[in-house]
A and B are shown apart, each in its own frame.
Chain A
Amino acid sequence: MSTTLNLKLKIWRQESPEAPGRFHEFAANDISEDMSFLEMLDVINEQLNEQGIDPIEFDHDCREGICGTCGVMINGQAHGPEKATTTCQLHMRKFSDGDEIVIEPWRANGFPVVRDLVVDRSAFDTIVQAGGYISVNTGAAPDANLMLIPKDASDAAMDAAECIGCGACVAACPNSAAQLFTSAKIEHLNLVPQGQAERWRRTENMVETMEDFFGSCTNHGECHEACPKEISLDYIAYMNRDYLKSKLKNRKLAGQG
């Protein structure tokens, strides 16, 4: 027998990117504490449908915390109050009866609001595209352990590769900087042998593309706290170091200037 919650929701509603948005209040009654946060929004949308009101738009896909599609600001915290948890994995038992919950989209000029709680995160795609490719042999699968990688290097690269690109780091950052995302995407390749051939070109292009859309890091550390995958601030330091090196080493070869 699970208990139920009665909540007061303040949700940001915005018709289109240009339209001015504002908060609407909704009452969420008889919410099971076993629901996920998105299931709670589903219930509200069902009720809105019955009343003939447009449902609240929000991004979601896998609902198991691995795709990076969902994400809203919940009471001023990206992905809500629980650490290392995406919005879809946040459960209503983290709230108590009678709470007021403020739900806002990610705020950053690099993430324009599409509608309600949905923001356009294509700037992240542009950064990843700027990274380009890595050179590997294709064809038959290579023998295991043909390429020697120290365990700690592969561990660090895998920790960076955990990034799901949800954008919580930018949303939580007082400067709307995308350093944590970009450094994770750069360093998961820079730390292993497979990423060395294009290392300096990738670092230079991705950092400069990032700066076309987002602010500058002031080392508050908010991004790491908001990150559902707990990406470490260490990668930002690695990126800063690699960027200086890329400026020295990413030379054009003869005739390619």
Chain B
Amino acid sequence: MAATTTSRSGVTPLRSQPRRPLPWPIQFYRSAVGKKWVMAITGFMLLGFIITHMLGNFKAYLGPEDLNVYGESLRDLGGHLVPRTHLLWIMRAGLAGAFALHIFSAYSLVHLGRKANPKASFVSGQKSYADDQNFVAANFASRTMRWTGPIILLYLFYHLADLTWGWWPWVEYHRGYPYENLVSSLDNWPIAVLYIAANTALAVHIYHGIWSAFQSMGVNNPRINAARKQISGAIAGAILIGNLSFPIMVQAGVLEVAS
């Protein structure tokens, strides 16, 4: 510790913790380290969805019939054991909950970072030195998490309105025919460009997200440490290639509606 210690009243805390006993999960979530755990766990849940979603969409390459049957069997999950679409709705609720927790934790952590920093803007949450800070380790992905996050959220709304709700007049939407809807939407090149841009943001977000989640959850072992960034890169790269293939292949005419 530094040898000179001035009066301890000099620094005002950013916040004070109530020391009354709360149930431990709530206490845990109140702390920033706890919120990072929640972000990591919900992040992995969302990642699981993204991978499953992509693998499911690959059925489009087998033909319209395969993708449409796949969509129908999602609604029919559980077979005759549960009423139709009930299991799907439970999964959707879990996903929405994970999404809400992920965003809310991120928002409150950015808020905490802003309070800890002089001259920090809200969006970036980052402080500024007069001479621009010389970043050594922070990469493009880690510094743009707060931009790629909102981009993904906006894209999610567009995507749901596009292919789940069928809101946009420029897409010929037929409920229960995902293949035809997909091709009808991505056949417009501005929409294909939008999908490509948003999915690139998603992959960049995932690249830092996976590595960061390893740290937040204390997954740290000399046997895997060297591979953690490669694992993040490999998963993000696979998701990028897989997801970009749809708009590109529709534009290239590989995926098309037989007329």
A residues at B contact (CB < 8 Å): 10, 12, 17, 23, 59, 61, 67-69, 73, 75-77, 102, 104, 107-112, 114, 120-126, 128, 164-166, 172, 174-177, 207-208, 211-222, 224-226, 233-234, 236-244, 247-248, 257
**Is B129 touching A104 in the complex (CB atoms < 8 A)?**
yes
**Is A104 touching B131 in the complex (CB atoms < 8 A)?**
yes
Tell which of B1, B112, B142, B225 touches A219, judged by Cβ atoms closer than 8 Å: B142
**Is A243 touching B3 in the complex (CB atoms < 8 A)?**
no
Q: In whole angstroms, how far apart are the Cα atoms of A217 and B218 in the complex?
A: 13
**Distance between A94 CB and nearest chain B CB, rounded to angstroms:** 14
Tell which of B11, B17, B34, B211 touches A110, judged by Cβ atoms closer than 8 Å: B11
Besides A122-B7, A125-B8, 13 new A-B residue pairs in contact (Cβ under 8 A), listed by A number? A59-B2, A67-B3, A68-B1, A69-B4, A175-B117, A177-B113, A207-B31, A215-B116, A216-B32, A220-B135, A240-B36, A242-B218, A244-B34
Contact flag A76-B2 (CB < 8 Å), given A213-B13, A219-B212, A220-B137:
no
B residues at A contact (CB < 8 Å): 1-8, 10-11, 13-17, 21, 24, 27-28, 31-37, 109, 112-113, 115-119, 124-127, 129-139, 142-143, 145, 208, 211-212, 214-220, 225
**Is A237 touching B126 in the complex (CB atoms < 8 A)?**
no
Tell which of B10, B32, B116, B143 touches A176, judged by Cβ atoms closer than 8 Å: B116
**Is B138 touching A221 in the complex (CB atoms < 8 A)?**
yes
What are the 5 closest A-B residue pairs judged by CB atoms, nearest first?
A241-B218, A215-B116, A221-B137, A237-B220, A220-B138
Contact flag A108-B13 (CB < 8 Å), given A175-B125, A217-B36:
no
Q: In whole angstroms, how far apart are the Cα atoms of A236 and B212 in the complex?
A: 11
**Distance between A87 CB and nearest chain B CB, rounded to angstroms:** 13
Query: Which chain A residue shows the least CB distance to B27?
Result: A247
Q: In whole angstroms, how far apart are the Cα atoms of A220 and B211 in the complex?
A: 10
29 contacts between A and B (CB under 8 A): A61-B3, A61-B4, A73-B131, A102-B131, A104-B131, A108-B116, A112-B11, A114-B6, A121-B2, A122-B10, A124-B2, A126-B11, A166-B2, A174-B125, A174-B127, A211-B32, A214-B14, A216-B35, A216-B36, A216-B113, A218-B145, A219-B211, A219-B215, A221-B142, A222-B137, A236-B215, A238-B220, A240-B37, A247-B28
